[in-house]
Structure 1
Amino acid sequence: MTIAEPLPTVPEALRPWIAEVRTMSFSEPPEGTFVQLPDAVIKVVLRVTGEGRRDVLAVGPRVRAAYHEGKAHIECVELRLAPGTARPLLGVAAAGLVGRVVPLDDLPGGAARRFAREMRWLDPREALPRVAEVLPELLAEPADPARTALLRAAVEALSLRMDRAPAQVRDVARELAVSERQLRNLFTDGVGVSPKHYARIDRVRALAARAGSAGWSELAAATGYFDQSHMTTDFRALMGVPPRSFLTGRLPAVSPCQAVRGG
């Protein structure tokens, strides 16, 4: 199985907007299946193929895993947007991008189209310095800093960390002095999925990353599940196979990568 690796740091100038940067480069097809885990993050991706095709794409939240054959002669840089960045940069609510892959310059935001023009001809391996120059010029501040700060505090509280299990949605709403309905609305606009679904995806991603590092019952407890049966049900629903099958490489059939328009 092959999964993209994050870079160790994000430049200071990008941290209000970019949570993480990942790069991939394959001169030959990667061994095994290329796994796209469920992901509650919106990404901007510059993809360059060996034939010279260049795409700058907005990739929306993915609520279930996808499995593909690896491709040769492809380079990508993936900018994982911070919560609340979709509307000011892309011109759409995050919920409008769930399950979609869209050319960046097809989106309504003027900033998105300008960003696409800036990124298109960059070398993916050396794109970050130019992105760090351009993005702060396009987006000086979030449209509503208080709302964005509230959303990011909620995302942080619901995210799994090595030293703690994620909080419950009702407790996060109470701590932030908002109703659960207000919290759902914040997530719909700024993340794309509900708080409960965000936490569910985050737990399954953590399980996929830690599979094999401890016993299943221990991992279930560490990631906030009631028991191993609850963990297995959730994992199978999002990943398409139970945890043991994933760990041993017994994966669902591969499918083609999602096609996009544009050239």
Structure 2
Amino acid sequence: MRPSRPIAALRPFVQAVWSREASLHVAPHREHVLPSGTMHLSVRLDAPLRLYRDASDAHGRCAGTATLAGARDGFYAKHADGAASVGAVLRPGAMQALFGCDADALHGQHVALEDLWNPLDVERLRDRVACADGVEHRAIVLQQALLAQVRPIRAMHPAIARAMQTLRQGRLVRETVADSGLSHRHFLLRFRAATGLSPKEYARVLRFRRALALMPERALADVAFAAGYSDQAHLAREFRALSGLTPQTYRAGNPAGGRHVEVNFLQDRSGTAR
């Protein structure tokens, strides 16, 4: 099932909802999940999420079956097995409304949903998802659970909302901060609280996402120019830093593009996938 729009009452907080059946044709593998600049909630039906510290980590750690992934400015590695799951992509500013904390409290982390909600509510959600009749019903069940958690909050500061828009348009961070009308310190605090990232991290991930969108269609030099990098070498450095892969390896293993990349291949001496 492709990501879909949430119900109207959740749209201020949730960007998209997705649900998928288990895939018997997916061989278990390790994959890099590339940064998106957003926070993700997921509930898995068949097996808990397993994360890996780095390429040398043979066993990983269990992160639970219901998890919230904070925004990050780099990839993470996980075990992919085609398990049935349902989830949501959260908007900036959603953390206070749905979980009662700022987004920067979860920066770069995966947190068990029981640490944020009443464990009994999480157990009911798991049970209802497991009993749901098909992927569409699971998505409805998750949205009902999210809606039940919404609490009143103050609207995001308009300067922060404007800043996110201008950064998406490729404007420089220093110009965005200067035009906000806020002191540099207060701007950074409010921006991190809403997004989980600093303005520079947020702009860096947005530029990387522009490059990912162009990778299937253009030469690397064209990708670098169109995405806003100074040259192809700059793109290559940033691509490796944010994905753990070279642009060439990403293309070879993921010709259709996307943020989930299988990395069951030769590792270099530093432990990073080539």
What's the TM-score once normalised by structure 1's chain length? 0.77
Is contact 1:95-1:193 (8 Å) kept?
yes
Aligned equivalents of 1:216, 1:140: Cα separation in 2:
46
Q: Does 1:25 align with 2:29?
A: no
1:230-251 deviation digits (Å, cap 9, x = unpaired): 1111111111122112111297
CA RMSD of aligned residues (A): 2.9
Shift of 1:196: 0.7
CA displacement 1:126-164 (0-9 Å, x = unmatched): 2333444453443253x22142x44333223222xxxxx
Distance in 2 (CA, whole Å) between partners of 1:144 and 1:229 is 43
What residue in structure 1 maps to residue 207 of structure 2?
203
Deviation of 1:171 after TM superposition, in Å, equals: 2.1
Q: Which of residues 145, 149, 158 in structure 1 aligns to 2:155?
A: 145
Corresponding residue of 1:259 = none
Aligned to 2:65: 55
Matched, 1:120 2:126: yes
User: What is the aligned-residue identity percentage?
Assistant: 24
1:1-263 correspondence to structure 2 within 5 Å: 6-28=2-24, 30=26, 34-49=31-46, 55-72=65-82, 74-107=83-116, 116-121=122-127, 122=129, 123=132, 125=135, 126-141=137-152, 143-147=153-157, 149-159=158-168, 165-249=169-253, 252=263
2:21 partner SS: strand
SS in 1 for 2:253: coil
CA contact (8 A) 1:98 1:192 kept: yes
3-state SS of paired residue (1:183): helix
Change (3 A) 1:219 1:115: farther
Q: Is the 8 A contact 2:69 2:111 kept in 1?
A: yes
> What is the CA distance between 1:81 and its match in structure 2?
1.2
1:258 is matched with: none
Letter of the structure 1 residue corresponding to residue 165 of structure 2: E
Could you say if the C-alpha distance between residues 154 and 20 of structure 1 is closer, same or farther in structure 2, counting changes exceeding 3 Å? farther
Q: 1:33 to 1:134 in 2, by over 3 A?
A: closer
Task: Indicate if the aligned counterparts of 2:38 and 2:89 stay in contact, CA closer than 8 A.
Answer: yes
Matched residues in 1 for 2:113 and 2:160: separation? 24
Q: d(CA) in 1 for partners of 2:68 and 2:247?
A: 30
The gaps in structure 1 that reach 5 residues or longer are 160-164, 255-263
**Counterpart contact for 2:156–2:194, Cα < 8 Å:** no
1:89 Cα deviation from its structure 2 partner: 1.9
Q: Deviations over 1:3-22 (max 9, x none)?
A: xx752423222101101223
**Which piece of structure 1 moves more, 38-47 or 87-96?**
87-96
State the distance in 1 between where 2:5 and 2:142 align: 14
Name the amino acid aligned to 1:207: A
Instruction: Measure the CA separation in 1 of the matches of 2:120 and 2:98.
Output: 10
1:223 deviates by 1.3
Q: How big is the shift at 1:185?
A: 1.0
Equivalent position amino acid for 1:205 in 2: R
Aligned to 2:257: none
Letter in 2 for 1:39: S
Letter in 1 for 2:235: M
- Figure out how many residues of one structure are paired with residues of the other and give that number: 237
| Distance (Å, rounded) in 2 between the aligned partners of 1:134 and 1:201 | 30
- The one-letter code matched in structure 1 to 2:215 is A
Relative to structure 1, the CA distance from residue 167 to residue 69 in structure 2 (aligned partners, 3 Å threshold; closer, same or farther) is same
